[in-house]
Amino acid sequence: MIGDRAERGFSTLSAHAVPVIAISTATRPSVRRRPAPGEWCANEVMAHLLDVETGLFLPRLARIATEDRPAFEPFSPEPWARARDRSLEPFAASLDAFRRARGATIAFLERLPAAAAERVGLSAHFGPVTLGTFATHGADHDLEHLAQIRACLAPPAPPPPATLRVRAALDALGLGHEIVDLGVTARTASDAARAVGCEVGQIVKSLVFRLEPSGRALLVLTSGANRVDETTIAAHCGETPAKADADFVRAETGFAIGGVAPVGHARAVATLIDEDLLRWPALWAAAGHPNAVFRLTPAELVRMTAGRVVAVK
């Protein structure tokens, strides 16, 4: 009786295990894809389920069954997640180990006398809790994280046309850069740096100017940490730069402000590159949408844009 609901929860997880493993085998990168920055990937969720089962759930059930009102410290998953990188731990192996561990938990519960269901432990999260009730928490925990796994393995939304244009431009240049969907809007250099986990100076900030009197577009690719001096820009190009409005930016580049990529423009655009970007081993640039970026080196940025490297401050 004690193990009925826990066993039902495990059966529910098992029912989904076959398609989950099939998906993870067919699309191996998906088990490492995070639905949003800071969230766990499927590998991490499955490793967490295994560690909780063997290191927390069964040991606490055993203490409730054998000790007088044992008290349990609160458990936080964040220190656990920071202890080591579990994103590379094989999903299928963790799932198989979890199945075995849950089987041992159910067998333990089924061996207990019925009266043991009313024994009490003191949970920092739930307060006083009977062994029978605590046993059901494992199933609830499974189902909560099963929803997480489904979100991790769900196919991402198709990229917008502007991002596909960047992909095509990179492919045409023979560059195999991966375009990353951040899952959040990153319209500023600070937003992008937080999302990818880099320094603000590594973000390639794209600024479009309208040059006067010619009316030509000028793209300035600057470090996210820098503020562009328009007088300096004027000295480089021999015209007065004016900040372009959204319509001009879209007409000249094909991109909306906040997603202007260094390549894939609607028409050829003269480009200046901030010399400070060359100090970094790696950079992150927009890929046609505020949610999309790609990683590249300073040398690749110069090559793909044919831009002139100058001081912009």
Going by pLDDT thresholds of 50, 70 and 90, the confidence category of residue 24 is very low
Whether the predicted pLDDT of 9 surpasses 80: no
Confidence at residue 29, expressed as pLDDT on a 0 to 100 scale: 55
Sketch the domain layout of the chain as residue ranges: 4-153, 161-310
Q: pTM of the entire structure? A: 0.59
CA distance 203 to 147: 34
> What are the structure tokens assigned to 311, written together?
């001081």
What are residue 209's DSSP bridge partners?
A: 218, 243
- The stretch 293-300 carries a mean pLDDT of 95
pLDDT, tens digit, 9 for 90 and up, residues 13-23: 444 444 444 44
Going by pLDDT thresholds of 50, 70 and 90, the confidence category of residue 137 is confident
- Please state which architecture CATH assigns to domain 161-310: Alpha-Beta Complex (3.90)
Confidence at residue 217, expressed as pLDDT on a 0 to 100 scale: 97
Going by pLDDT thresholds of 50, 70 and 90, the confidence category of residue 276 is very high
Contacts of 188 (CB under 8 A, 6+ apart): none
Read off the DSSP letter of residue 281. Answer: S
More confident site: 120 or 140: 120
Can you tell me whether residue 220 is helix, strand or coil? strand
Residue 295's closest CA among 280, 276, 275? 280
Give the CA distances from residue 171 to residues 267, 288, 295, in Å, rounded to whole numbers and listed in that order: 18, 15, 14
In this structure, the number of other CB atoms found within 10 A of the CB of residue 280 comes to 17
Confidence at residue 183, expressed as pLDDT on a 0 to 100 scale: 67
pLDDT, tens digit, 9 for 90 and up, residues 255-275: 999 899 999 999 999 999 999
Q: For the chain, how many residues are written?
A: 313
Can you tell me whether residue 21 is helix, strand or coil? helix
More confident site: 113 or 206: 206
Contact status, residue 198 vs residue 295, Cβ threshold 8 Å: no
Read off the DSSP letter of residue 159. Answer: P
- Report the chain's mean pLDDT, rounded to a whole number: 85
Token pair 């920071």 is at which residue? 82
Going by pLDDT thresholds of 50, 70 and 90, the confidence category of residue 71 is very high
pLDDT, tens digit, 9 for 90 and up, residues 156-188: 778 899 999 999 999 998 888 889 887 677 778
Domain 4-153 CATH class label: mainly alpha
Contacts of 197 (CB under 8 A, 6+ apart): none
> What are the structure tokens assigned to 295, written together?
């990683």
Going by pLDDT thresholds of 50, 70 and 90, the confidence category of residue 27 is very low
CA distance 40 to 57: 21
